[in-house]
Amino acid sequence: MIILAIDTSTDETSVAILNGQKILCNVISSQVRYHKKFGGVVPFLAQRLHKERIDSVISEALSRAQTDFSGIDAIAVTYGPGLAPALQVGVEKAKLLAVEHGLPLYAVNHMMGHISSCFSKNVAKFPMLAVLVSGGHSELVYTRSFGEYQIIGQTLDDSLGEAYDKVARMLGLGYPGGKLVAKLALEGDSAAYALPVPMLRSGDLNLSYSGLKNAVRLLIGEVSAEGPLSRKNIADICACFEYVAQESLLRKVTLALSMYPEVQQVALAGGVSANVRLRAHLRAILKKHDLELVVPANQKLCTDNAAMIGLAAHFGILAGQKPAEIETLDRIPYLSLEDVHFSE
């Protein structure tokens, strides 16, 4: 089945075409330079830019896949979670295309898309523990199949990606800063300053990053009281933040594996899954449990993209997902993975 997939959940206008699991193209038009000066995504600006770009991104995808709508069998679109004005553009466009070309329309949960991003090449083994770390979410998800998700832990405040972005902002590194903080952290000494590991004694699988963010703010204040921050100071702060932020997540993954010993595979997805240190540390932990770590096959599949939405539709259809009712389909900004149900 050839699927044309659309994602406009935040600030990337993305369209991909897949033949089953095979990604024929994954076009991403990023709006990041427009939102940069505001230090975050501005929902109505995102909507305007999605509207301006969506048709040309669709044309580009069709041309890269060397096809037209006569070669497409189904449309898939993200209907949540995400920013309401942004999601709306993709959902409306997908509905129009489905009606105009007489195609079935599959409504996809963006977070199921992130999990599916690990399986363009890998084979899924269930039950699986999905570690979802993006700009909007930090969740540990017990996954029984593509279609049966239970959130067993989640952040009580900021997501991990958001914490990276906020630390970058405090250090004046720019937006989105996750990648920049990670790069500087590689040069720094993670033992240079002591920061508290969040949620160490909570006994559950939840996470929290707002306290750590405040601890970093105080640390920056203390270090800069002694003089302007040097590159070494900044790299050390990034390294300490990254170490503690990841340590907190890794301890919860270890706890989850002891609570759910039947887990067969761990999937790491979402924008922060691009982080090389996080991958390495997680792999080292999983080795002790004789478990494999699966990650997206390339960098483009880690952050928001439509190929992962096409993959989710592909796995959803195999799991019994039915096409959406075009008249009633609407965006759901606070959609949860636990809302995914394919069988009656």
Which stretches of the chain bind ligand KG4, using CB under 6 A? 10, 134-136, 161-162, 164-165, 176-179, 182, 270-272, 274-275, 303-304
Residue 7 within binding range of Zn ion, rule CB under 5 A:
no
Residue 46 CA to its chain's centroid (Å): 18
Give the CA radius of gyration of the chain.
Answer: 20
Alpha-carbon distance of 69 to 77, in angstroms, equals 16
Looking at the Cβ atoms of 25 and 272, the one nearer to Zn ion is 272
Parallel, antiparallel or unpaired: strands 22-30 and 12-19: antiparallel
Looking at the Cβ atoms of 139 and 304, the one nearer to Zn ion is 304
- State in angstroms the smallest separation of the CB of 4 from Zn ion: 19
Residue 304 within binding range of Zn ion, rule CB under 5 A:
yes
Contacted entry of ligand KG4, Zn ion, none for residue 142, CB cut-off 5 to 8 Å set by kind:
none
- State in angstroms the smallest separation of the CB of 271 from Zn ion: 6
Alpha-carbon distance of 133 to 271, in angstroms, equals 7
Q: Which residue has the tokens 């600006």?
A: 45
- For Zn ion, which residue of 134, 159, 208, 248 counts as binding (CB under 5 A)? 134
Alpha-carbon distance of 76 to 312, in angstroms, equals 9
- State in angstroms the smallest separation of the CB of 117 from Zn ion: 9
Residue 136 DSSP SS3: coil
Q: Is the peptide bond before 198 cis (omega within 30 degrees of 0)?
A: no
Looking at the Cβ atoms of 120 and 190, the one nearer to Zn ion is 120
Return all residues near 49 (Cβ < 8 A) that are at least 6 apart: 11, 13, 31, 34
Alpha-carbon distance of 108 to 332, in angstroms, equals 11
Looking at the Cβ atoms of 134 and 190, the one nearer to Zn ion is 134
Looking at the Cβ atoms of 97 and 249, the one nearer to ligand KG4 is 249
- State in angstroms the smallest separation of the CB of 189 from ligand KG4: 18
- State in angstroms the smallest separation of the CB of 20 from ligand KG4: 24
Q: Say if CB 151 and CB 132 are below 8 A apart.
A: no
Residue 248 within binding range of Zn ion, rule CB under 5 A:
no
Q: Which residues are at the interface with Zn ion (CB under 5 A)?
A: 134, 304
